[in-house]
Structure 1
Amino acid sequence: MGLAGHRKALGYSQEGLAHALGVDRTTVGRWERGETEPQPPLRPELAELLQLDLAELNALLPQPQAVSSESAGAPPRDHDDSGDLDDMIRREFLRLIAVTGAALALPDDETAALVDGAQRGSSTDFLRINGHLWQVYQLARSKRSVAPVVRDHLATLKDRLKGCRGAEVSELSGAAGDLFQLAGELAFDRNHYSDAAASYNVAASASHGAGAFDLWACALVRQSYIDLYDHRYEDAADVLAAASRVARRGDTQLATRYWVAAVEAEAYAGLKDLSSCERAMDEAEKVLDLSPSGQNGGWIRFDGSRLAEERGARYVQLGRLDLAEQTLMKALGQQALAQGQSYRRRGAVLTDLAAVGARRRDSEQVLSYAGEALELARASSSGYVTRRLHFLQAEFEPLSRDRRIVELGAEISALRTT
């Protein structure tokens, strides 16, 4: 009996097992077909769910296929993916942070035994490069193009961390917390959720070690997005409550606590709690009282420019369609006036407006807005916009007799999600 057979014998669907592990359903499918293998950090939990020990689990896993996915007729895999390398770098960072953190409590002569052959380079240099990479990521139409540069910078920072001592440990841990959030964003955009979660966890650990409360809170917020996009709203609310507590210990001149509130509003909307949602959005709007230095353009970019689109999206979740359309149209107008607008942001507003049309059974509105979002997804290869469109398909049922809507749904289904 293979992995799929054993799963079925225990009564798990692919989706159910994926939900229990916090991964995407397609990831389980790839394991069962032998296209990929579960990453080492996931194997103990997978074995426990399947009532196996690790040796029995390994015996059930099919060997990775020797032929390429292209030759098998499957969608081509992205050749800049290096999951094993990324996992190695994440594990190495956690080990190094633990070792160098312990070194802080040791005398200098013992510390010297733990650090050897260091490359010299200041944390300021790494943070400056991090900031540049965040800007490139924000402006890039194809986010995946940034991945190789981020991976190389992670490797360089890893090598530098091996040789640091004293206050440098904290400073470079902060730089690692910053950069791993960007690595997580890249994985999340491509729907590689286990990779994203691992990167956010390293970011939180490194930020904690650095005593960087705002950076730590932001890593938790990004972690909550994985629960939000899987509709695990209670789990997301728990993570965000922790982020809020951490943010309250941070810099009052930064926008962190207001970003936490904006994302909490999404969790409350998912739980159909209108009053808590609106209170959270009202709290988020206090970001407008901050000076421009309250957001740094990197790991925190929340400056209030997205408030209209976020409030509109919350009204869609809550079924308040008139309020939703009014607010989203305002957001669309603001985006049209902005320079360097994000494909992700525009795609999100367009899919929300299409959802409003679907709930009103207005085929023309669906075709107009969803059609434009579809073109954005194709032009940018954005996994985020693609995922939003796939969620939108669930709204098409009332319009299933309209041939044009059926054809649109087929085009959305053809978009690659990985």
Structure 2
Amino acid sequence: MGLAERRKALGYSQEELAELLGVDRTTVGRWESGKIKPQPHQRRGLAAALGASLTELDALLALPRATGQEASEAQSSDHTGAGDPDEMIRREFLRILTVSGVLTALPLDEARALTDGVHRGSPADFTRMNSHLWQVYQLARSKGAVYPIVRDQLTTLNEALAAGTQGNSRTLLSAAADLFQLAGEVSFDANRYADAAAAYSLAASVSKDARSYDLWACTLVRHAYVDMSERRYQEAAQVLKAAERVADRGDSDLATRYWVASVQAEAHAGLGDLAACERALARAEKVQYLTSGCANGGWLRFDGNRLSEERGARYVQLGRLDLAEATLKQALGQTALASGHSYRRRGAVLTDLAAIGAQRSDPEQLVGYGREALSLAQASASGYVARRLQALCTKLGPLSKDHRVAELRADIATLSTL
């Protein structure tokens, strides 16, 4: 029995299963056709809906694609075929990214031989352009809007690397690693974890070759976020330990090591270690003693102004609601004054406050803060806030019987995480 057969045996239509899981109907169709696999955070919900263990779910997903009527149903619900523009852009994006990684590693004469008719580019020009792209990414309400721009910059970088006029200098390698890291961020926000991990791995490798330790450490931190998004906190802690060692070799005037510490706090909270979490937060707070260099306008922007919301989120993770609520309300006031990425930040804080309401079985608090977060997710089209809200729906428990909570859950289910 395959996924479609199991669904039908339980009496679900694709629409009903999709609504239950908070995904689009097309997503269910693509699971059943074998074109995509459920993301890690979707697997437990899908298994529960189908009355299967995770091992049994793997078996259902491993069966050959549905045939006959089931295949026709899946085909009709799958609007992301080979000719779909978004999928074509994604494939081209990954192709360009892969070529860039090869060109940074090849000797100059081999890199030049790979392409003809390329344009010349200055490493300093790439550095300035990358800094501008990070600012665009930071300010964009919809992070996906930056996707084509980053792709075009990758194409230009490929041409400069292949031309070899700059000799693959450290400056150009650092610019390449910077851009790979941004490419990873765009993919991560779109819930494409495998793509993000590939980009971060390339960024780490090239940063190492360029001996750019702060850039290398920041790339490792972002790679750890991929692990944490899949609740692999032990693996994330190992990556962050490596990032800590690399950051110690970097520029002591930059905030890199303090950002590493703030993310280590999240990994420790995921492991249920309050003492280690507090120690990491205390290290992160030392960023306030820096007189300059907290941000470089691009891949490093940590200046400590988000630490109160980070601390509150960690307390929620640890179930310390007594500590979390006051901290998060303070952070909420700070996000109201923040510029640029305040939609994403404020949405995350509101979701955490809603989660406290869920844990306290307080529907008023849950719905009040949840509705505000939902409005921000709809306005920004942020996959990050949408994922946070959908994770909140797994914690509603008996509150789901309250009609206001049920309506909120239904509205969250309409959000796209892509």
Same fold (TM over 0.5): yes
The offset of 1:73, in angstroms, is 4.4
Equivalents in 1 of 2:29, 2:385: separation in Å? 22
Equivalents in 2 of 1:380, 1:201: separation in Å? 28
| Contact kept in structure 1, 2:112 and 2:163, CA below 8 Å | no
Paired residue for 2:390?
390
Change (3 A) 1:61 1:405: closer
Paired residue for 1:21?
none
Paired residue type of 2:251:
D
Paired residue type of 2:214:
D
For structure 2, the 5+ residue unaligned runs are 6-25, 39-54, 56-61
The offset of 1:154, in angstroms, is 0.4
Paired residue for 2:336?
336
The offset of 1:76, in angstroms, is 7.4
The offset of 1:291, in angstroms, is 2.2
Aligned residues: 372
Judge which range, 218-227 or 162-171, deviates more: 162-171
Choose the corresponding residue for 1:86, options 74, 79, 93.
93
Equivalents in 2 of 1:206, 1:68: separation in Å? 45
For structure 1, the 5+ residue unaligned runs are 6-25, 39-49, 51-57, 104-108
Alignment of 1:77-226 (within 5 A): 79-81=85-87, 82-100=89-107, 103=108, 119-164=119-164, 168-226=168-226
Paired residue for 1:346?
346
Equivalents in 1 of 2:111, 2:410: separation in Å? 61
Alignment of 1:24-43 (within 5 A): 30=30, 33-35=33-35
| Contact kept in structure 1, 2:111 and 2:164, CA below 8 Å | no
Is 2:76 the counterpart of 1:72?
yes
Paired residue type of 1:299:
W
Equivalents in 2 of 1:36, 1:111: separation in Å? 34
Change (3 A) 1:75 1:380: farther
Equivalents in 2 of 1:264, 1:182: separation in Å? 21
Change (3 A) 1:171 1:62: farther
Equivalents in 1 of 2:330, 2:351: separation in Å? 15
Judge which range, 392-401 or 313-322, deviates more: 392-401
Change (3 A) 1:299 1:29: farther
Equivalents in 1 of 2:220, 2:27: separation in Å? 23
Alignment of 1:256-267 (within 5 A): 256-267=256-267
Question: Which structure exhibits the higher relative contact order, with contacts defined as CA atoms closer than 8 Å and separated by 6 or more residues?
Answer: 2
Change (3 A) 1:192 1:331: same
Alignment of 1:224-303 (within 5 A): 224-303=224-303
Equivalents in 2 of 1:316, 1:88: separation in Å? 40
Paired residue for 1:407?
407
Judge which range, 238-247 or 87-96, deviates more: 87-96
| Contact kept in structure 1, 2:111 and 2:163, CA below 8 Å | no
Change (3 A) 1:90 1:339: closer
Equivalents in 2 of 1:157, 1:401: separation in Å? 54
| Contact kept in structure 2, 1:343 and 1:380, CA below 8 Å | yes
| Contact kept in structure 1, 2:261 and 2:281, CA below 8 Å | yes
| Contact kept in structure 2, 1:31 and 1:61, CA below 8 Å | no
Change (3 A) 1:2 1:248: same
Judge which range, 255-264 or 338-347, deviates more: 338-347
Equivalents in 2 of 1:137, 1:114: separation in Å? 31
Paired residue type of 1:128:
R
| Contact kept in structure 1, 2:265 and 2:314, CA below 8 Å | yes
| Contact kept in structure 2, 1:288 and 1:304, CA below 8 Å | yes
Paired residue type of 1:134:
W
Equivalents in 2 of 1:110, 1:328: separation in Å? 54
| Contact kept in structure 1, 2:220 and 2:243, CA below 8 Å | yes
| Contact kept in structure 2, 1:400 and 1:406, CA below 8 Å | yes
Equivalents in 2 of 1:59, 1:364: separation in Å? 45
| Contact kept in structure 2, 1:161 and 1:169, CA below 8 Å | no
Percent of aligned positions that are identical: 57
String of CA shifts for 1:53-105, please: whole Å, max 9, x gaps.
xxxxx996789xx9999x934577984442221221222122212213xx4xx
Change (3 A) 1:68 1:61: closer
| Contact kept in structure 1, 2:189 and 2:384, CA below 8 Å | yes
Is 2:365 the counterpart of 1:356?
no
| Contact kept in structure 1, 2:120 and 2:165, CA below 8 Å | no
Alignment of 1:309-328 (within 5 A): 309-328=309-328
Paired residue type of 2:397:
E
Change (3 A) 1:297 1:29: farther
| Contact kept in structure 2, 1:111 and 1:165, CA below 8 Å | no
Change (3 A) 1:62 1:98: farther
Equivalents in 2 of 1:361, 1:122: separation in Å? 58
* Paired residue secondary structure (1:205): helix
| Contact kept in structure 2, 1:309 and 1:331, CA below 8 Å | yes
Paired residue for 2:51?
none
Judge which range, 380-389 or 74-83, deviates more: 74-83
The offset of 1:395, in angstroms, is 1.8
Paired residue type of 1:93:
S
The offset of 1:31, in angstroms, is 6.1
TM-score, normalised relative to structure 2: 0.81
Paired residue for 2:48?
none
Equivalents in 1 of 2:213, 2:290: separation in Å? 18
The offset of 1:36, in angstroms, is 5.5
TM-score, normalised relative to structure 1: 0.81
String of CA shifts for 1:192-230, please: whole Å, max 9, x gaps.
111111111111111111111111111110011011111
Equivalents in 2 of 1:411, 1:364: separation in Å? 17
Paired residue type of 1:249:
R
